[in-house]
Amino acid sequence: MKKLRLLIVLLIAFVLTACGTAEEENSASKNEETSQVENNSNNTETNSEEDESTIEEETEDVELYSIELNNENNTVELKKEGEDTAVLSDQYPSEPVKSPNGQHAAYLAPFEWEELSDLYIVDLKEGSQKKLIEGNSESKPKNVIWENDEHVLVILGYPYGTVSIGGNIYRVNIETGNQEQLTDYEDETQITDFHIEDGTLHYSGIKYTDDEMNEHEEYSNQISLQ
């Protein structure tokens, strides 16, 4: 009888010991899995940061083309060291204006009285250009400035006659060409110049004071772009 009791006690002790060992092994396994997940997550974040840093460095390392107006030849020229100078326009173009980040430029051609001018956007990374706005018998671009890296502000107006010396201001997306009209004046008010200062668009021109549009006075106004 005593031997039977002793055997039972030993059996119970063995079972308890085995259960404790299994729990310890399961706990250790879970800790290893958790540690592996955390390491993978940290590695993913590190790789993502490294990829973003690499992209930024590659962007900064890109050598941009230079663009300038050659007043002697009345041409817009694209230049890069080691490459031949490319003539983008020989139709009496305007002075190119660069975007805030310096990666694009905009100019008008031909930039002459009663000529149907077009608006061109030049990619200074790729060395290519595209026509953003084409002049027609009803409207042509007369002046352009950059609002930000994605949009230009353009004065569009009637191309002919001594009365329509300016027009209204439009915001144009350089990728899509979508236009948003910012001013809506009738013919008696002609906007001819504009600039941006502290998020405000300042513009000026003339306002006709008689029905025949012979007499005029200086006109200026401003709108917030924020």
Q: What is the pLDDT of residue 226?
A: 84
Q: What is the pLDDT of residue 25?
A: 52
Q: What is the pLDDT of residue 56?
A: 47
Query: How much is the pTM?
Result: 0.74
Question: Has residue 179 been placed in a domain?
Answer: yes
- Burial (CB < 10 A; 0-12, 13-18, 19+), residue 109, is buried
The domain total for the chain is 1
Rounded to whole angstroms, the Cα distance separating 70 from 211 reads 42
Rounded to whole angstroms, the Cα distance separating 96 from 85 reads 16
Rounded to whole angstroms, the Cα distance separating 93 from 122 reads 13
Query: How many CB atoms neighbour CB 203 within 10 A?
Result: 23
Question: Has residue 115 been placed in a domain?
Answer: yes
What CATH number is associated with residue 178?
2.40.128.660
Question: Has residue 217 been placed in a domain?
Answer: yes
Residue 117 to residues 186, 203, 212: CA-CA distances in angstroms?
A: 22, 21, 27
Question: Has residue 41 been placed in a domain?
Answer: no
Question: Has residue 88 been placed in a domain?
Answer: no
Question: Has residue 51 been placed in a domain?
Answer: no
Cβ distance 142 to 190 under 8 Å? no
Show pLDDT as tens, one digit a residue, over the chain (226 residues). 555 455 454 555 554 555 454 455 555 454 455 455 455 545 545 454 555 544 444 445 689 999 999 999 999 999 999 999 999 999 999 999 999 999 999 999 999 999 999 999 999 999 999 999 999 999 999 999 999 999 999 999 999 999 999 999 999 999 999 999 999 999 999 999 999 999 999 999 999 999 999 999 999 999 999 8
